[in-house]
Amino acid sequence: MDPLRQDEFDSQACGSMAPKAKPCPRPKPGEAAGGCSFDGAQITLLPIMDAAHLVHGPIACAGNSWESRGTLSSGPSLSQYGFATDLTDSDIIFGGEKKLKDSIDYIAGRFAPPAIFVYSTCVTALIGEDMDAVCKEAADRIGIPVIPVNSPGFVGSKNLGNRLAGDALLQYVIGTGEPEPETDLGVNLIGEYNIAGEMWDIEKLMNSAGIAVTSRITGDARYKEITWAHRARVNMVVCSRALLGLAREMESRYGIPYFEGSFYGAKETTYSLRQMAYLMNDREMERRVDRLTEREEARLSQELRPYRKLLRGKRAVLYTGGVKSWSVISALKELGVQVVGVGTNKSTEDDVRRIADRVGDDTEYIPEGGASRIIKTVRERKADIMIAGGRNMYVAMKEQIPFIDINQERHKAYAGYEGLLRLAKELTYSLANPIWKLAASPAPWDKEAPPYDR
């Protein structure tokens, strides 16, 4: 098989496309919009587990968000701490730079992290704090990197925040360190955040094929490993919307080829592993990957058999962000589940093209958010299950629609071959649970059927 799969990628060599200047779309006032840039920046950087993450702003930004994501750590837990400068009204008037400096010093002195990330917020950006200067001065004084992340909430959407966090990594982290001479260099995983431990499943697969992970950007990462990310031989962009720019920039600066891939579904997983080996230009590795993927796919297809039988012909509405919008479609297709509606509001043009490749014409695109819009699609398309994130979960419950959480709060890892099995199991359980029948049948004394008869 040709590992490049020209039908899915542009005919140009992978990664030579010029960066698109198109900004992330503006949120629309008056809607129940998703997270902000600050949120997005945190999502990207919080999985650097041994670093301290300090929020420079009023208590809310940290107070409302600390320790609420399912990004798992295999060791250090400093990243889970909610550090905040807790600005009050007098700081807003007189400035909070002194407080920021003291906070950085305190964290450095008491927690001795390898690095401190400092996040700006709406307030500190508006009152004109010179965060970069404070961070630089502090870094020089205390001798550890203090990295300003300039991504206040108001600059835009969560995706933009991911990008700005990527910029901070490029500007302050990547290229500042060198790996040990005997380190086996391999692939950077970009935009994989180890939600529910998915990163570890991926890493296990890569290890089995003899492909080394150079830097995790940033699932279960350590600060130090990101400093030498520029030495990797290949970049794989796992979540394209978020950090594609980082990969592009690394290609132009360091000549590292990149590709976009996914680990949702067996085909995508196989493709990603093959692509890694191909771009590393290592024949032996390619053969190992072929053996591994053949074996895993065969085993998987055996183990999936009972689930496939139960899932065949089921209809799903998928509402998620970024890369999952298309990659999960592949996983579902392999299970025999038909995607009849798909959210595209957080997808790039490339993502949408990939969605189109996978779903055909019979699927409704849901371009904007809002529970009612998603529910409408579920009803009109007579879907059996809704696959979305936490903020839409309870609406699905109200509507008695079987639901699977696919976003950052989920507790199940769906990546890789084993992940597909877990997804199959979760889908089956969610669809088969007796509660739906109970919910859909009226009380014995109430003859009228509920409004939505599935």
Per CB under 8 A, contacts with another protein among 306-345 are 306-307, 310
Element (H, E) at 97: helix 97-111
Task: Give dist(CA 262, CA 279) in Å, integer.
Answer: 16
Q: Report which residue type is found at 91.
A: D
Which C-beta is closer to another protein: that of 207 or that of 252?
207
Instruction: Say how many C-beta atoms besides its own lie within 10 A of residue 7's C-beta.
Output: 8
Which C-beta is closer to another protein: that of 279 or that of 304?
304
CB of 50 to another protein, least distance (A): 6
Region of 82-90, 236-244, 262-270, 317-325 interacting with another protein (CB under 8 A)? 82-90
Q: Which of 200, 235, 232 is nearest to 219 (CA)?
A: 200
User: What is the per-residue DSSP string for 323-364?
Assistant: THHHHHHHHHHHTT-EEEEEE-TT--HHHHHHHHHHHGGG-E
Which C-beta is closer to another protein: that of 174 or that of 359?
174
Residue 378 near another protein by CB under 8 A? no
Hey, is 149 helix, strand or coil?
A: strand
Instruction: Say how many C-beta atoms besides its own lie within 10 A of residue 11's C-beta.
Output: 7
Residue 75 near another protein by CB under 8 A? yes
> Residues 137-149, buried b or exposed e (16+ Cβ, 10 A)?
ebbeeeebbbbbb
CB of 438 to another protein, least distance (A): 10
Angle (nearest 5°) at CA 165 between 90 and 4: 170
Which C-beta is closer to another protein: that of 269 or that of 363?
269
Say if residues 200 and 154 touch (Cβ distance below 8 Å): no
Binds another protein by CB under 8 A, chosen from 33, 170, 185, 352: 33
Residue 94 near another protein by CB under 8 A? no
Residue 175 near another protein by CB under 8 A? no
Map the footprint of another protein across residues 221-250, applying CB under 8 A: 221-225
Map the footprint of another protein across residues 394-453, applying CB under 8 A: 394-395, 397-400, 411-413, 418, 421-422, 425, 428-429, 432, 439-440, 450-452
Task: Give dist(CA 418, CA 242) in Å, integer.
Answer: 25
Which C-beta is closer to another protein: that of 220 or that of 268?
220
Residue 58 near another protein by CB under 8 A? yes
Which C-beta is closer to another protein: that of 104 or that of 355?
104
Binds another protein by CB under 8 A, chosen from 71, 79, 120, 121: 121
- Cα–chain center distance at 235: 16
Residue 361 near another protein by CB under 8 A? no
Which C-beta is closer to another protein: that of 3 or that of 80?
80
Binds another protein by CB under 8 A, chosen from 4, 14, 92, 352: 92
Task: Give dist(CA 107, CA 110) in Å, integer.
Answer: 5
CB of 339 to another protein, least distance (A): 22
Binds another protein by CB under 8 A, chosen from 13, 17, 126, 298: 126
299 Cβ neighbours under 8 A, 6+ residues apart: 417
Task: Give dist(CA 55, CA 53) in Å, integer.
Answer: 7
Hey, is 198 helix, strand or coil?
A: helix
Task: Give dist(CA 203, CA 236) in Å, integer.
Answer: 13
Q: Report which residue type is found at 273.
A: L
Binds another protein by CB under 8 A, chosen from 39, 129, 167, 351: 39
Cis before 227 (ω within 30)? no
Binds another protein by CB under 8 A, chosen from 9, 200, 254, 365: 200
Residue 86 near another protein by CB under 8 A? yes
Residue with tokens 């420079």: 56
Q: Is 266 exposed, middle or buried (0-12, 13-18, 19+ CB in 10 A)?
A: buried
Residue 174 near another protein by CB under 8 A? no
Binds another protein by CB under 8 A, chosen from 15, 45, 65, 414: 65
Binds another protein by CB under 8 A, chosen from 5, 8, 17, 112: 112
Binds another protein by CB under 8 A, chosen from 64, 171, 252, 301: 64
Residue with tokens 């400068």: 85
Which C-beta is closer to another protein: that of 1 or that of 438?
438
